[in-house]
């Protein structure tokens, strides 16, 4: 069984979207039962759940159920899903421990947060 | 023959009275809802041409993005039902009221424009939301139209809140 080397993983920082993951990066095999993909639904101009806690290496998939396009955009600007149209999804992997406040760049009153815990 | 009058309260910032005195049918409701969205898109294009305020420009871009999305959905429903929306007195009042407002706005620039645009957006969304929520949704008989109007109302209410924040942020006098 592989155990994640945190020192190595941290160097990769935050990887935005599966397409941006370097092919040279080791496949993240995590000490718990592997990386998870957690879902946040955007509906009626709310992120649900508003607070989501996950482990390093997990991904979040935002799915928009509203007619209006939305985004999930890190408040400090480190990551951004870009525009998510109705019934569209966007995925971001979180490899850095911390608390990340985010909002919808089109509707700034929509706010939520992601908490990334270490393994 | 008399029909029960349905009177919609006037908002002082509106250039012309917006009244739905008589119950409208589905095709009229669809026409007016679509028209209201198109007019807000037109206001937004004017704002993007004139305003240099970031909050105002962001708001205008959101109006274009969202009202376009709602009207694309409305167009798809109209196609699916194979119907033609009906022009009506309320749509016409909205169009002429907006034309008068645009003429007024075009004489303005800078903060005066921003405040006029922002205040009008707040008033416009308030009256449209009241009309959609209290009249159009109860009046609509086609379930898909009712559902679309309900989804649209969630969007327009978010816009109303956004407009409120924009007006507060601009610190307009009066
Ligand atoms: Cu949004």
Cβ pair A75, A95 in contact under 8 A: no
Output the CA B172–ligand 1 centroid distance in Å.
26
What is the average per-residue pLDDT within B39-61? 97
DSSP string covering chain A: -----HHHHHHT--B-SGGGS-TTSPP---SSSS--EEEEEEETTEEESSEEEEETT-EEEEEE-SSS-B--EETTSS-B---B-TT-EEEEE--S-EEEEEE-SSSTT-EEEEEEE--
Q: Using CA atoms, how far apart are residues B48 and A94, in angstroms rounded to an integer?
A: 36
Confidence of residue B18 (pLDDT cuts 50, 70, 90): low
Output the CA B127–ligand 1 centroid distance in Å.
22
CA B60 to chain centre: 13
- Max CA pair span of chain B: 53
Nearest to A109 among B70, B73, B162 (CB): B162
* pLDDT at B169 (0 to 100): 96
Average model confidence (pLDDT) for chain B? 89
What is the average per-residue pLDDT within A65-69? 97
Give pairs for B62-68: CB < 8 Å, separation 24+: B62/A106, B62/A107, B62/B159, B62/B162, B63/B121, B63/B159, B65/A68, B65/A69, B65/A83, B65/A106, B66/A67, B66/A68, B66/A69, B66/A106, B66/B155, B66/B159, B67/B37, B67/B38, B67/B40, B67/B41, B68/B37, B68/B41
Confidence of residue A67 (pLDDT cuts 50, 70, 90): very high
Provide the CATH number for the domain around residue A59: 2.60.40.420
Task: Answer yes or no: do A107 and B62 touch at CB < 8 A.
Answer: yes
What is the average per-residue pLDDT within B60-88? 96
Spans of all domains in chain B: 25-170
Residue B32 has pLDDT above 80, yes or no: yes
Output the CA A48–ligand 1 centroid distance in Å.
13
Confidence of residue B20 (pLDDT cuts 50, 70, 90): low
* pLDDT at B19 (0 to 100): 56
Confidence of residue B37 (pLDDT cuts 50, 70, 90): very high
ipTM associated with this complex: 0.83
Residue A68 has pLDDT above 60, yes or no: yes
User: Please, which residues have CB within 8 angstroms of residue B31's CB and are 6 or more apart in sequence?
Assistant: B85, B86, B87, B88, B91
* pLDDT at B173 (0 to 100): 77
Domain B25-170 has CATH 1.20.1260.10: yes
Residue A39 has pLDDT above 90, yes or no: yes
Nearest to A45 among B70, B73, B154 (CB): B154
Q: Using CA atoms, how far apart are residues B107 and B118, in angstroms rounded to an integer?
A: 16
Confidence of residue B82 (pLDDT cuts 50, 70, 90): very high
Confidence of residue A31 (pLDDT cuts 50, 70, 90): low
- Show the CA angle centred on residue A106, arms to residues B79 and B157, nearest 5°: 65
Percent of the residues in chain B that have a pLDDT greater than 90, as a whole number: 86
* d(CA B18, nearest CA chain A) in Å: 26
Output the CA B62–ligand 1 centroid distance in Å.
9
Task: Answer yes or no: do A69 and B66 touch at CB < 8 A.
Answer: yes
* pLDDT at B60 (0 to 100): 98
* d(CA B121, nearest CA chain A) in Å: 15
Residues from B in contact with A at Cβ < 8 Å:
61-62, 65-66, 69-70, 73, 151-152, 154-155, 158, 161-162, 165
Domain housing A98: 37-117
Nearest to B65 among A44, A106, A109 (CB): A106
What is the average per-residue pLDDT within B29-55? 97
What is the average per-residue pLDDT within A108-115? 97
Output the CA A116–ligand 1 centroid distance in Å.
23
Cβ pair A92, A58 in contact under 8 A: no
* pLDDT at A70 (0 to 100): 98
Within-domain flag for A16: no
Residue B11 has pLDDT above 60, yes or no: no
Task: Answer yes or no: do A109 and B155 touch at CB < 8 A.
Answer: no
Within-domain flag for A82: yes
Compare all CA atoms of chain A with the CA of B57 and give the residue at the minimum distance. A106
Closest by CA position to B62, among listed A110, A10, A56: A110
Nearest to B69 among A45, A86, A110 (CB): A86
Task: Answer yes or no: do A107 and B158 touch at CB < 8 A.
Answer: yes
Percent of the residues in chain B that have a pLDDT greater than 70, as a whole number: 87
Residue A10 has pLDDT above 80, yes or no: no
* pLDDT at A113 (0 to 100): 98
What is the average per-residue pLDDT within A11-38? 51
What is the average per-residue pLDDT within B122-140? 96
- How many structural domains does chain A have? 1
């Amino acid at each position: 069984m592989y155990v994640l080397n945190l020192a190595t993983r941290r160097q990769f920082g935050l990887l935005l979207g599966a397409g941006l993951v370097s092919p040279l990066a080791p496949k993240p095999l995590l000490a718990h039962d592997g990386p998870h993909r957690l879902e946040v639904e955007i509906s009626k101009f709310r992120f649900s759940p508003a607070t989501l806690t996950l482990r390093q290496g997990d991904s979040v998939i935002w799915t928009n159920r509203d007619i209006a396009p939305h985004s999930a955009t890190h408040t400090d600007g480190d990551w951004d899903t870009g525009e998510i149209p109705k019934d569209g999804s966007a995925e971001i992997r979180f490899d850095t421990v911390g608390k990340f406040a985010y909002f919808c760049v089109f509707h700034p009153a929509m706010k939520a947060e992601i908490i990334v815990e270490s393994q | 023959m008399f029909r029960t009058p349905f009177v919609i309260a006037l908002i002082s910032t509106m250039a012309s009275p917006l009244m739905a005195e008589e119950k409208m049918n589905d095709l009229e409701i669809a026409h007016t809802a679509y028209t209201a969205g198109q007019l807000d898109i037109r206001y937004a294009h004017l704002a993007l041409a004139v305003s240099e305020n970031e909050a105002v420009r962001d708001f205008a871009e959101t109006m274009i993005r969202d009202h376009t999305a709602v009207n694309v959905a409305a167009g798809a429903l109209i196609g699916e039902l194979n119907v033609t929306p009906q022009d009506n007195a309320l749509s016409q009042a909205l169009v002429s009221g907006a034309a008068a407002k645009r003429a007024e706005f075009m004489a303005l620039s800078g903060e005066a424009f921003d405040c006029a645009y922002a205040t009008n957006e707040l008033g416009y969304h308030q009256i449209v939301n009241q009309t959609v929520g209290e009249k159009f949704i109860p009046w609509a008989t086609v379930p898909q139209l009712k559902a679309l109007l309900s989804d649209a109302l969630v969007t327009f209410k978010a816009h109303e809140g956004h407009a409120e924040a924009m007006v507060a942020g601009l610190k307009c006098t009066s």
